[in-house]
Amino acid sequence: MPLKLMKTLALSLALLCTACHGLGHYDPQARPLSEALPPPNSGPLYQTRQTLMSEHEGETGLLLLRDGLSAFVARVAMIEAAQSSLDIQYYIFSPDVSGSLIISKLLEAADRGVRIRLLVDDIGTPISDPHVSTLAQHPNIAIRIFNPVAGRAGLSRSLQLAFGFSRTNHRMHNKLMLADHTLLLTGGRNVADEYFSNNEVDFQDIDVVAVGEVVTQGAQSFDEYWNSPVAVPTSALLDADDADMTLDELRSALKDFLHEQRHSEFARALAESSMGQALLTGEIELTWGQATLHADPPSKAYARDDTPQDAYLGTLLRREMDNTRSRAWLTSAYFIPGDKGVELLSTMERKGVDIRVLTNSLSTTDVAIVHSGYSRYREPLLESGVALWELRSQAGQQQRMHWFHGSSRASLHAKTFVFDEDRTFIGSVNLDGRSLLQNTEVGLLIHSNAINQQLSQIFEEWVHGDSAWKLSLTGDGDLRWQASNDGEPLELDHDPETSGWQRFKVWWLSLLPIESQI
């Protein structure tokens, strides 16, 4: 055997050993356990809760965050107002403009004594930045990585992910933020510029702020994830000696960054928004109703054989679908119903339920392989009477242009469901196999006619002809896409705003037997 080949095989075996051992040095029992802190008895959020709850005991106050700017402002306001604790759980937390601004606010909060627990997913947020080692050295900041591998980058990481696929395939897709055990924020958005309308891709999404007993449910869910055995402290993954700056140097760097951004469109929009102040003073108008936070158990990601499917969030959604009598309007960025889903929706339609679905078109999806899984179900859904729309790439531009110059490509990222006239679900779960079977998810089930009406109105705006393509079948069973530009009708016989090569790739991908993984 050639020497070069022998060396290559030896290196591969060494790396495979690393992959097999993974986090062999890590002992979850050695971690300090922690629980959510009780609400403080003073501070802005305490006063806000007292003001808002004085006339609504036993109810949940709710605020929908439709545009990216409001969603960002709400997060910053919660961080700036916190006096006791911040618990933050995200699939993606990017160190871009919005992420760096939030990190700077978190460091300020930690400096004034707020305890911060940050839990991120290892695939959505692969932690390798030396700044993280610096941030984690703060006595009031703890960072944990969900379901990680030991390798932080390069071939070693790739091999560990590949050879540990049965474990690493299951990700924490949750999005949850809690401030002072008083305010909760959840929904579809991660922390990155594209979720806050500051990017060439503008995600159409929905978050919700909640105040009331549902916050305690959110705190219990966070604690369950934080103390799960696969929530690994950064100290087990990163060497503190690799930190390339001290905490004081990081503070200075973030201060310089804020100074550089002071004239940016994003900073101006943030400074001119009054929503955050209104939220903190209790002057913002909330909608009141009943809400329950539901989350997959974290064991869905690492002990699936011991986790009954009745505990899955998808089981709750199926139950709500079964109980629906008049309408189910479903918004799902990734929509792969499968044969069982088509049968469920078809059966509901035959019973007189108005089924409407909005998802991404091929031109607006950020994951083409997902579109390949969805596209095969369009014809059977339409044949059964389900109304189907796909987002257009220019959707939402007027709303975005209020703050930002220049255009962006729209992409649907929302996961919202309207049931009958009284119930809604807002969260992180898509209607596809990955969300329902592989990943962990979270969301709010809301009983409120008013929230139901608000989400219904948003859905109708999203599926308007200027924002979405309505699909139909010709007499010969061929697909048609219909929309409008300033009232002028449009009709196409192929996926809009795409090339023949794009359509061919999606067709080819649709032949692969990987539906449960996408």
At 197 the pLDDT is 81
* Angstrom distance (rounded) from CA 412 to CA 360: 6
**Catalytic residue flag (residue 27):** no
**Catalytic residue flag (residue 420):** yes
Set 420, 422, 447, 505: catalytic member:
420
Set 173, 294, 371, 470: catalytic member:
173
The answer, as to whether pTM is greater than 0.75, is yes
**Catalytic residue flag (residue 306):** no
**Catalytic residue flag (residue 202):** no
* Angstrom distance (rounded) from CA 159 to CA 17: 10
pLDDT of residue 114 exceeding 90? yes
Set 105, 131, 170, 175: catalytic member:
175
- More reliable by pLDDT, 259 or 244: 259
Q: In 301-341, where do the E strands start and end?
A: 327-332
**Catalytic residue flag (residue 470):** no
Identify the three-state secondary structure at position 42: coil
Name the pLDDT band for 6 (thresholds 50, 70, 90): very low
pLDDT of residue 517 exceeding 70? no
CA distances 477 to 130, 166, 374, 474, Å, are 56, 40, 18, 5
Set 105, 415, 432, 495: catalytic member:
415
- More reliable by pLDDT, 274 or 246: 246
pLDDT (mean) for 410-426: 96
- In this structure, what are the phi and psi dihedrals at residue 442, rounded to the nearest 5 degrees? -150, 155
* Angstrom distance (rounded) from CA 159 to CA 161: 5
Set 193, 413, 432, 470: catalytic member:
413
User: What single-letter amino acid sits at 16?
Assistant: L
**Catalytic residue flag (residue 340):** no
Name the pLDDT band for 402 (thresholds 50, 70, 90): very low
Name the pLDDT band for 18 (thresholds 50, 70, 90): very low
Please list the residue range(s) of the chain that carry CATH number 3.30.870.10: 56-281, 308-517
Set 67, 180, 205, 495: catalytic member:
180
* Angstrom distance (rounded) from CA 494 to CA 275: 42
Cα 138 to chain centroid, rounded? 27
Tell me which CATH code domain 56-281 carries. Answer: 3.30.870.10
Domain 308-517 has CATH 3.30.870.10: yes
